[in-house]
Chains A and B, each alone.
Chain A
Amino acid sequence: MPAPKSWVIAPPKKTLVVGVADMTASNDPGAELVTYSLGSCLGIAIYDPVKKVGGLLHVMLPTSTIDPDKAVRSPFMFVDTGVPRLFRAVSGLGGDSNRFVVKVAGGAKMMDAKDIFSIGHRNDQKLKEILDRAGYTVHVRDVGGLAYRTMRMSMANGQVTIQSPGNPPYTL
């Protein structure tokens, strides 16, 4: 007789934290990628459901031309230098770019009449431009608003959960 499911104790999850201006790719199905403090920053998760490989990127600003030196030292700070590296890293782990599922969260917006401080919106625009050019579409997104978000991706199935303060987590 097979043991009831409740008897099976899941192995402890390995949590890989992705900092601000940082990226992690993984092929460990037991791992979970997490990034905290997504405000106007964007979290971009990609996942190949067949190979079970994926990556999570936390970018802060749209374009690296503002500070080319910084972009060399910290390419994951910017959408334009971070996104191509994320795709390459996950492909490098055996992911097939034709199967990538792309999920995006963050881009909160401050109340600015002149829209200069809407970095979240500019990040989102830049991401769209880059993905369009490469022929990718965003599968699902939770972008904008006034909330600060935590974004997690399970490497077992690519499920992404979002949590903002005072709210229960939900599946994106």
Chain B
Amino acid sequence: MTAAEWIAKARGVVPSSESANRILGLLGRPSVSNDEIVKVIRCDGVLTAKVLQVCNSPLMGLRQRVASLDQALLAIGHREVFRLVMAISYSAAMSAPIPGFAMAAKEFLRQSLATAAAAEVVMESGLWKGEETPMAFTAGLLQDIGELVIGGALTMEMVARMRARVESGECSRIEAEREMLGTDHAEVGANLLKSWNVPEEIVEAVANHHQPVLTPVTQLSVVTHLADCLAHLAGGAPGWGSYAVRVCTPVVEAMGIDSERLDGLVIATRTSIERMERFTGGL
């Protein structure tokens, strides 16, 4: 299957949300105010209603009922509303089971949210100076979106052959995808996002999250790569062979991560994931 055919397939699997696309577009601008993002949400009645519904779910634990977008912004803040909007925008597509990777319903959504939470930890750890946290959060959330497309199209026979390769210990899961399909979930995901006009930084972070770019200039893919690793270590990763992920040694060295530093990051990631689960439990 060619990249174009994958993308055609992807459009059916992952419908793009107009408001989410507009917000993603805003993130690519040099400076974007909270007000601009709020304006987009306000124009989308369905999205606003969903934000209020999640805010009022008992898991959120708010004392007072939230009846308007302004009240939601007051109660949980701009950053939290932003996270919710992104999670809501992709939650329906991401909640589907992925038979090709043996992921049950909601498992992919949970993993994507955990990776987004981990990306924020990397941003706040001081390991990275660069793009804004919302950009990293979004890149973490979307980095495996290609799995949704590929996982739904694999035949049983392809899965059996890929599993045999991965379980032999010879290749990572993404390497097995490339061997079998001539492409992989990172490339398919990045192409899909490109077709939605998502900012280049996010496309890069998705495209290279399994082979992050350090030179000549360190790219956001370093953050998504580390976030992927941290999410695995702080709460697991669903699907068969999910630990067949190659850790990029040059990134580990460049960031000066030793086992002590790593354990600290895993603790912070766990905290971030638990917070995220509380906030998005109502989805």
Contacts and interface: CB of A to CB of B under 8 A. Distances in A.
Nearest to B262: A116
Interface in A3-58: 20-21, 36-41
Contacts of A110: 229, 232-233, 243, 245-247
Contact of B103 (A77, A113, A145, A165): A165
Contact of A66 (B102, B246, B267): B267
B101 A21 contact: no
Given A38-B236, A66-B260, A114-B249, A146 B267 contact: no
Nearest to B244: A146
A21 B102 CA distance: 25
Interface in B219-249: 229, 232-247, 249
Contact of A147 (B234, B243, B262): B243
A108 B173 CA distance: 15
A111 interface: yes
A79 B239 CA distance: 26
Contacts of B257: 116
Contact of B237 (A39, A116, A166): A39
Contact of A109 (B243, B252, B267): B243
B246 A111 contact: yes
Nearest to A112: B247
Contact of A61 (B159, B166, B242, B266): B266
Contacts of A164: 240
Contacts of B78: none
Interface string B246-279: 1101001100011110111011001000000000
A61 B267 contact: yes
B102, B235, B239, B264 pick with most chain A CB within 10 angstroms: B235
B101 to A, nearest CB: 7
Interface string B166-185: 11010010000000000000
Nearest to A21: B270
A110 B258 CA distance: 15
A21 B264 CA distance: 15
Contact of B263 (A39, A41, A66, A147): A66
A89 to B, nearest CB: 22
Contacts of B233: 39-40, 60, 110, 117, 119
Interface in A134-172: 145-148, 164-167
Interface string A66-83: 110010000001000000
A117 B260 CA distance: 11
B163 interface: yes
Contacts of B247: 110-114, 116-117
A67 B260 CA distance: 10
A85 interface: no
A70, A111, A145 pick with most chain B CB within 10 angstroms: A111
A148 B242 contact: yes
A54 to B, nearest CB: 23
A128 interface: no
Given A37-B236, A66-B264, A146-B166, A116 B259 contact: yes
A70 B270 CA distance: 11
Nearest to B266: A61
Interface of A: 20-21, 36-41, 60-63, 66-67, 70, 77, 108-114, 116-117, 119, 122, 145-148, 164-167
Nearest 3 pairs of A and B residues by beta carbon: A37-B236, A166-B102, A39-B236
17 contacts: A37-B235, A39-B233, A40-B233, A40-B243, A67-B267, A110-B245, A110-B246, A111-B244, A111-B247, A114-B253, A116-B247, A117-B229, A119-B262, A148-B239, A165-B101, A166-B102, A166-B159
Given A110-B247, A111-B243, A114-B247, 8 more contacts: A39-B237, A40-B243, A61-B263, A117-B247, A145-B243, A147-B242, A165-B101, A165-B240
